[in-house]
Structure 1
Amino acid sequence: MILIIMGVSGSGKTTVGSSLSEKLGWTLHEGDDYHPKENIDKMASGVPLTDQDRTPWLLLLHDIIEREMSAGSHAILICSALKKLYRQLLLFGREALGGACQREAMEGVVFAFLSGSFQLIQARMVARKGHFMASNLLQSQFDTLEPPSLSENAVTVDISKSLPEIVAEIEAAISTRL
């Protein structure tokens, strides 16, 4: 199984993904580590990424998903996956470009959407240190966000809960799909 932890910047993807990886013993892939320097520089300077900026990055993450699935591994991928198109690119790669892909979900891949209010996430972003994402980009992330549907094999988790509660909720959701 591949678990994709998704949500806007500041929703706790890395914290939740790290906790799940440690608890389950699954390989963790931090999507931000695969951004090209140009994307990081844009975000750090407060410029939102475009679909054109994100597409090569998402295709690279698709390759990681394919590699892990081919190996029969369980893995966690942390990726904002804000739009349905982005989730389609993660799942189906180039097949998703141009609207040719009609499938919603891929067997063995589950999205865990970390959902929270703008105010809660903004407060977290302002408090965190050392991350390249400028906090003034949060509104653009919310504007871009298309929450996943159940047909996308997604579970929505309220991030106002404690970390152990969030982790337990995701674990319960994926245990029924293993």
Structure 2
Amino acid sequence: MIYIIMGVSGCGKTSLGTFLSEKLGWPFYEGDNFHPQENIEKMARGEPLTDQDRFPWLLRLHEVIERERSSGSDALLACSALKRLYRQILLHGSTVVAPTSSASLPSSPEVFFLYLHGDYDLIHQRMVARQGHYMKADLLRSQFDILEPPSDEENVLTLDIRKSRSEMILEVEKHIESLKL
């Protein structure tokens, strides 16, 4: 099983992923570590990424997901996955961006999205307070502007970031147990 922890910058993807990894014993892949240097520099300058900037990054993350799926491993991956198209690329790779691709492809039964949901003001406060991250709080509005919250047919578990990390982890553990039934 693969969980893709998604949401806008500053919502707590890395923090939750790190704790879930320790609790479950699953590997955790921080999506930010797969960005090309040009993307990091662009964000550090306060420039929002375009779809063209994101596509190579999303395809690299798709490769990680496929590697874990084909080995039968459980894993966690943090990725903003702000648009439905991005989530489709994570699941299906370059077939999604091919010229003949028009319809949404089905969700993968062994891949789930954990959508960390929160409001702009709370997340902006968190981003202003954090240290040492290249993603500037000024870019948060651009992420909310393009955010397409996942729908139920996308295999999503929505987590309210106002809850404690322990409460969110408990919800994920319950989700995992429900899938084993």
The TM-score bracket by the shorter chain reads: over 0.9
Opposite residue 21 of structure 1, the aligned amino acid is S
Task: Using the TM superposition, give the Cα deviation of residue 146 of structure 1 relative to its aligned residue in structure 2, in angstroms.
Answer: 0.3
- In the alignment, structure 2 segments of 5+ residues that lack a partner are none
Q: Is the 8 A contact 1:95 1:101 kept in 2?
A: no
2:113 partner SS: strand
Moved more, 49-58 or 163-172: 163-172
Determine the C-alpha separation between the residues in 1 that align with 2:106 and 2:45: 34
Task: Using the TM superposition, give the Cα deviation of residue 175 of structure 1 relative to its aligned residue in structure 2, in angstroms.
Answer: 2.5
Task: Using the TM superposition, give the Cα deviation of residue 165 of structure 1 relative to its aligned residue in structure 2, in angstroms.
Answer: 0.6
The yes-or-no answer on 1:115 pairing with 2:117 is yes
Task: Using the TM superposition, give the Cα deviation of residue 43 of structure 1 relative to its aligned residue in structure 2, in angstroms.
Answer: 0.6
The equivalent position to 2:129 in structure 1, one of 127, 147, 157, is 127
In the alignment, what sits opposite 2:160? Answer: 158
Q: Is the 8 A contact 1:20 1:167 kept in 2?
A: yes
Opposite residue 55 of structure 1, the aligned amino acid is F
Opposite residue 36 of structure 2, the aligned amino acid is P
Residues 24-173 of structure 1 mapped to structure 2, 5 A cutoff: 24-97=24-97, 98=99, 99-173=101-175
Q: Is the 8 A contact 2:88 2:104 kept in 1?
A: no
Q: Is the 8 A contact 2:112 2:155 kept in 1?
A: yes
Q: Is the 8 A contact 2:127 2:137 kept in 1?
A: yes
Task: Using the TM superposition, give the Cα deviation of residue 101 of structure 1 relative to its aligned residue in structure 2, in angstroms.
Answer: 5.0
Task: Using the TM superposition, give the Cα deviation of residue 104 of structure 1 relative to its aligned residue in structure 2, in angstroms.
Answer: 3.4
The yes-or-no answer on 1:13 pairing with 2:13 is yes
Q: Scaled by the length of structure 2, what TM-score is found?
A: 0.95
- In the alignment, structure 1 segments of 5+ residues that lack a partner are none
Determine the C-alpha separation between the residues in 1 that align with 2:58 and 2:176: 23
Opposite residue 104 of structure 1, the aligned amino acid is P
Determine the C-alpha separation between the residues in 1 that align with 2:110 and 2:121: 34
Determine the C-alpha separation between the residues in 2 that align with 1:175 and 1:79: 24
Give the length in aligned residue pairs. 178
Determine the C-alpha separation between the residues in 2 that align with 1:17 and 1:171: 13
Counting aligned pairs with the same residue, the percent is: 57
Task: Using the TM superposition, give the Cα deviation of residue 103 of structure 1 relative to its aligned residue in structure 2, in angstroms.
Answer: 2.1
Q: RMSD of the alignment, in Å? A: 1.0
